[in-house]
Amino acid sequence: MLYFTIKCLLSGLIIAVVSEVARRSPTLGALIVSLPLVSLLGILWLWRDTKDIDRIAAHAESTFWYVLPSLPMFLVLPALLRAGAGFWPSLGASCLLTVTLYLATAWTLARFGISL
């Protein structure tokens, strides 16, 4: 239980730091968020828990394929906000687009024999 608590506290601390940095400097906050910190933490926790190289490799590869369909959200969200769509509708539409692109990516990759 202590290990789980440490993982939660460290992961939460990173999110808190990023949000505080982003309040002061959106660009610096974006730079920090663009780093694959969550992926690296996940890989580190997975290594510590399993020492399973194949599982870590599969996790890293799947992460790559799921990052690609998430990228358009970072263009659609600001475009909708600047067009006056409002925060919540813009966020909702961006998330819906991302989920749709995730499903399309998984379906397309499956047709090429890549299983996520």
The domain segmentation of the chain, as residue ranges, is 1-35, 51-116
Which pLDDT does position 39 carry in this prediction? Answer: 86
Is 90 exceeded by the pLDDT of residue 95?
yes
**Across residues 103-107, what is the average pLDDT?**
95
- The pLDDT tens digits for 1-57 are 888 898 889 888 888 888 899 899 988 888 887 778 888 888 998 999 999 999 999
Q: Quickly list DSSP for 53-114.
A: HHHHHHHHHHHHHHHHHHTTHHHHHHHHHHTT--HHHHHHHHHHHHHHHHHHHHHHHHHTT-
User: What average pLDDT does the chain have?
Assistant: 91
Which pLDDT does position 92 carry in this prediction? Answer: 97
What share of the chain in percent tops pLDDT 90? 64
